[in-house]
Amino acid sequence: MTTIPLCVENTYKTYDNRQVLEDIGFALAPGEIFGLIGLNGAGKTTLIKILLDLIDADRGTARIFGIDATNLKARRHLSYLPEKFQPSRYLKGMEYLDLALSYYGKKLDVKQARNYAAALDLDPGVLDARVGSYSKGMGQKLGLLGAFLVDAKLLLLDEPMSGLDPSARIKLKEMLMNCRAQGKTIFFSSHILSDLDDICDRIGVIHEGRLFFIGTPSAFKAHYDESSLEKAFLRSIEGPKTPAARYVHAG
């Protein structure tokens, strides 16, 4: 298996004559945390759907550990959490986790599941309750549990902080950094830019379908002479509309 967990090249996508993605390209290194930033409608979800082979790109390629993303085998080493995670309300938490792992041919370790729940600030006892009784935050933690327990080499997380209180967000960031220490690669999108600033090795900033910055959070802030990622992001999307002025790449 190649060492490149995720590689996207020259990817385009159009909907109703509107260019949603234009010439998207990047590659992730093993053990990297990469955060994708963009407004609603910027193209983040479209890109993620292409990576999961839920929609076809008009042109371009995406490879997961060297395997074309359209090949089912590419997802053997990928764990995914959607932005709107909604398992059946009639399943118990532990039943959901058992089902999630079964898709990968793995058995649920109940003790490990309870330990991971505690690490995410979720009462392990609620795993014996039905999902219908969960709050939004509890449901999000359950989805994260499933993503972590799969023990995949690449985690693809769409807005993983959604619904989490500050304590749970801190715990989640600790778990993501532990995954990185184990050599796993994390690709995630988030509107909570301070979280990306805290843990990302690199970020990609996408706007109006174009990925106009790839680099470290500190390089992005320095480029716009701002102390916070939020302010730098606002500066970046409020600039001149011409591509030459707007689309700046950083290493």
Per-domain residue ranges for the chain? 6-246
Are 136 and 163 in contact, with CB atoms under 8 Å apart?
A: yes
User: Looking at residue 59, what is its pLDDT?
Assistant: 95
- Indicate whether 134 pLDDT > 80: yes
Query: Cα-flanking dihedrals φ and ψ of residue 207, to 5°?
Result: -150, 130
User: Looking at residue 239, what is its pLDDT?
Assistant: 66
Residues contacting 94, CB < 8 A, separation 6+? 108, 110, 113, 127, 128
User: Looking at residue 7, what is its pLDDT?
Assistant: 96
Q: Which CATH code of 1.10.287.3510, 3.40.50.300, 3.40.640.10, 1.10.10.10 fits the domain covering 6-246?
A: 3.40.50.300
pLDDT digits (tens, 9 = 90+) for 36-95: 999 888 889 899 999 999 999 999 999 999 999 999 999 999 999 998 888 889 999 999
- Indicate whether 233 pLDDT > 50: yes
Report the percent of the chain where pLDDT is more than 70: 94
pTM of the model: 0.90
Burial of 198 (0-12, 13-18, 19+ CB in 10 A): middle
pLDDT confidence tier of residue 241, bands split at 50, 70 and 90: very low
- Indicate whether 1 pLDDT > 50: no
Comparison of pLDDT for 241 and 60, the residue scoring more: 60
pLDDT digits (tens, 9 = 90+) for 184-201: 999 999 888 999 999 999
User: Looking at residue 243, what is its pLDDT?
Assistant: 36
Residues contacting 191, CB < 8 A, separation 6+? 159
Render the burial of 152-172: b for 16+ CB within 10 Å, e for the rest. bbbbbbbbbbbbbeeebbebb
